[in-house]
């Protein structure tokens, strides 16, 4: 996303790659040192990734793949019926593919998927909020 299609995973310049890698490593080590109880990490993981995997990612993937199949004009289908010709990054100016997919999801055609997406965001935020309140002692476990 940062390079907007200029580089793939094998040709990213070394310095930005090193900065991102070291940043992630330092962040992970600090979180590992500060969070001494595994149950806290698992509570946040459940609140965040549970809603992502169940409610947010499936509608995003379905709408994106449906858009790609609708946009395909010259479809080449392999022996099991899957179209792999149009899976590359499409150039849509400065607008990212994910934002375009989310905008399309909130159209009339895919409104039920927009509901699932919104429900996932709300349940993820509620899960993290409840975890924070439980850890601070504001509500009991």
Rg (CA), the chain: 20
Q: What whole-number distance in Å separates Cα of residue 84 and Cα of residue 75?
A: 9
Predicted pLDDT of residue 116: 92
Predicted pLDDT of residue 67: 83
Q: What is the DSSP letter of 90?
A: P
pLDDT in single tens digits along all 141 residues of the chain: 556 667 666 777 888 889 999 999 999 999 888 878 888 888 888 889 999 999 999 999 999 888 888 776 545 555 555 555 555 545 444 467 888 888 888 988 888 999 999 999 999 999 999 988 988 888 876
Instruction: Indicate yes or no: pTM above 0.75.
Output: no
């Amino acid at each position: 996303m940062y390079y907007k299609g200029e580089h793939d995973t094998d040709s990213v310049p070394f310095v930005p790659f090193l900065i991102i890698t070291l940043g992630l490593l330092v962040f992970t080590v600090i979180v590992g040192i500060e969070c001494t109880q595994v149950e806290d990490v698992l509570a946040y993981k459940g609140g965040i990734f549970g809603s992502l995997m169940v409610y947010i990612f499936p509608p995003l993937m379905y709408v994106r793949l449906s858009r790609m199949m609708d946009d395909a004009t010259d479809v080449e289908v392999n022996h099991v019926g899957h179209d792999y010709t149009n899976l590359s990054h499409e150039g849509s100016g400065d607008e990212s593919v994910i934002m375009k997919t989310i905008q399309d999801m909130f159209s009339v055609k895919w409104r039920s998927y927009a509901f699932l997406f919104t429900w996932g965001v709300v349940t993820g935020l509620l899960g993290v909020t409840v975890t924070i309140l439980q850890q601070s002692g504001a509500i009991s476990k």
